[in-house]
């Protein structure tokens, strides 16, 4: 019996040293509690990507040049914070795990900064600009901490590809429910709370969202567990970067995500402008945004099935093709609202298919680096993909503001033909061009075909270490 205990102890020690110990499988409750966290994470993202630019231009009445600069600087801060957060995660080791403590620690400051972001004191134009820079940068850095931590969790909770699909499914459903909630309720709540004062309405709405999101993230924190015990070795930035640059699939995924986020953000933030000025129906903006978010929920079920049948790469390619068809149809529809909504639905379905497998793909490129080099700097690899996504959002915000300025956009006024053209470029033509680039980049991604071999090799390694 003593020998048996010794052998068992040696086996456990060996597994811990190599950072490969696996514990019990995740249950349905845990999968659900992890997934709902993205209701809050994506809710915060949607608030900023869909309403912040509109808030600055049409509520605060800031100059477009100042708006573009604020969005660019704040989102660059968000992007650069990703790498720092990834390195911090790789160096963290607590009884709650590597990433979960950051969820509980960041959510309250993040929600407070969200309220401050949509509160504009009575200042001069210069004062408002300075305040905008400060609040936007603080919010962006805190949001980066939350989103990188939450995204990295999937690589820490399980190595089982079927469980990852389950986590990813609930995550994506919750993310799109969070986006649907924000796009369908924000302007309604602003109107109800503000009673004609949009500034007051935005502040009150952000307060309500903050309470809701804090509760959701705490539920995720208390009901999840990090099972993948990685090596205690701390990777330097240069070592992590060296591992990353050897992984061509990781590089391609970074490029693909950059393109996709540029297109998605330009389309999202351009919706309210297109509905108000090109279609002459301001209320239609919330409807179009809500349709996109609502359709993405059932699409997650379809995407999971498609990913098993045709692979994640094909989901990206076919989704972007359908998005192109939808955007072309919307341009041809002009002011025919019924036809426009039909093609908007097609574009939203395509976008949902294209974006549905992102975080499973991130987990797989992390696995590939471990297979390729024997090293797993998962915080760095995940955060660097997030960095490229955030850079895409930053570029989209700045580019959209510059295009509106080029068109001579004047908030609240009847727009010139040049301004209407600029709005159309932001909402339709730029997203279409970006979809083409995404398709071209996706054609070079081959990990779908290689991953079964990678997974088998890693599984055999784990068995040897047991």
Q: Is 24 part of any domain?
A: no
Q: Which residues of 136-147 are buried (b: 16+ CB within 10 A; e: fewer)?
A: bbbbbbbbbbbb
Please indicate, yes or no, if residue 168 is contained in any of the structural domains.
yes
Copy the structure tokens of residue 388: 């490229």
The answer to whether 456 and 16 are in contact (CB under 8 A) is: no
In a domain, 337, yes or no: yes
- The CATH number linked to 192 is 1.20.1250.20
- In terms of Cβ atoms closer than 10 Å to its own Cβ (0-12, 13-18, 19+), residue 334 is exposed
CA atoms of 199 and 54, how far apart (whole Å): 12
Structural domains counted in the chain: 1
> How far is residue 376's CA from residue 380's CA, in Å, rounded to a whole number?
9
Residue 5 within a domain: no
d(C-alpha 391, C-alpha 397), whole Å = 10
The predicted structure's pLDDT at residue 17: 40
How confident is the model at residue 2, as a pLDDT? Answer: 40
Q: Is 94 helix (H, G, I), strand (E, B) or coil?
A: strand
133 — pLDDT class (breaks 50, 70, 90): very high
Report residue 116's pLDDT band, with 50, 70 and 90 as the boundaries.
Answer: very high
> For residue 456, what pLDDT band results from cuts at 50, 70 and 90?
confident
Check if the beta carbon of residue 387 is closer than 8 Å to that of residue 83. Answer: yes
Whether pTM > 0.85 for this model: the answer is no
Name 94's bridge partners: 97
- Expressed as residue numbers, the domain containing 88 is 29-229+237-453
Average pLDDT over residues 377-386: 77
265 is a domain residue: yes
Please report whether residue 2 resides in a domain: no
> Within a domain: residue 393?
yes
In a domain, 12, yes or no: no
């Amino acid at each position: 019996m003593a020998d048996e205990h010794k052998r068992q102890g040696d086996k456990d020690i060996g597994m811990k040293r190599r950072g490969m110990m696996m514990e019990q499988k995740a249950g349905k409750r845990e999968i659900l509690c992890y997934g709902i966290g993205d209701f809050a994470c994506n809710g915060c993202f949607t608030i900023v990507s869909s309403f912040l630019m509109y808030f600055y231009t049409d509520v605060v009445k800031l100059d477009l040049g100042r708006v573009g600069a604020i969005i660019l600087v704040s989102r660059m801060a968000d992007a650069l914070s990703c790498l720092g957060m990834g390195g911090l995660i790789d160096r963290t080791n607590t009884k709650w795990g590597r990433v979960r403590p950051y969820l509980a620690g960041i959510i309250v400051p993040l929600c407070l900064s969200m309220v401050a972001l949509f509160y504009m004191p009575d200042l001069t134009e210069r004062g408002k600009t300075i305040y905008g820079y400060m609040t936007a940068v603080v919010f962006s850095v805190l949001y980066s901490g939350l989103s990188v931590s939450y995204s990295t969790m999937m690589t820490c909770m399980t190595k089982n590809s079927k469980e990852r699909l389950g986590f990813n499914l609930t995550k994506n459903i919750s993310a799109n429910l969070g986006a649907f909630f924000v796009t369908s309720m924000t302007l309604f709540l602003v109107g109800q709370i503000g009673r004609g004062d949009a500034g007051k309405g935005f502040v009150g709405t952000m307060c309500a969202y903050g309470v809701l999101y804090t509760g959701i993230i705490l539920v995720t924190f208390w009901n999840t567990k990090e099972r993948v015990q990685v090596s205690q070795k701390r990777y330097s930035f240069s070592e992590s970067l060296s591992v990353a640059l050897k992984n061509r699939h990781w590089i391609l995924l970074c490029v693909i995500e950059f393109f996709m986020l540029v297109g998605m953000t330009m389309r999202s933030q351009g919706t309210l402008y297109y509905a108000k000025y090109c279609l002459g129906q301001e209320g239609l903006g919330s409807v179009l945004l809500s349709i996109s978010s609502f359709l993405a929920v059932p699409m997650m079920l379809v995407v999971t099935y498609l990913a098993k049948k045709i692979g994640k790469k094909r989901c990206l390619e076919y989704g972007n093709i359908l998005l192109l068809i939808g955007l072309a149809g919307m341009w041809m529809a002009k002011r025919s609202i019924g036809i426009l909504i039909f093609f908007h639905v097609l574009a939203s379905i395509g976008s949902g298919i294209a974006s549905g497998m992102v975080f499973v793909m991130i987990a797989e490129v992390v696995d590939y680096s471990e297979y390729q080099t024997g090293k797993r700097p998962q915080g760095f690899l995940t955060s660097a993909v997030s960095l490229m996504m955030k850079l895409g959002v930053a570029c989209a915000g700045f580019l959209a503001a510059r295009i509106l300025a080029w068109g001579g956009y004047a908030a609240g006024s009847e727009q010139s033909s040049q301004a209407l053209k600029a709005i159309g470029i932001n909402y339709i033509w730029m997203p279409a061009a970006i979809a083409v680039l995404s398709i071209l980049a996706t054609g070079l991604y081959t990990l779908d075909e290689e991953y079964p071999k990678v997974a088998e090799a890693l599984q055999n390694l784990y068995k040897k270490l047991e």
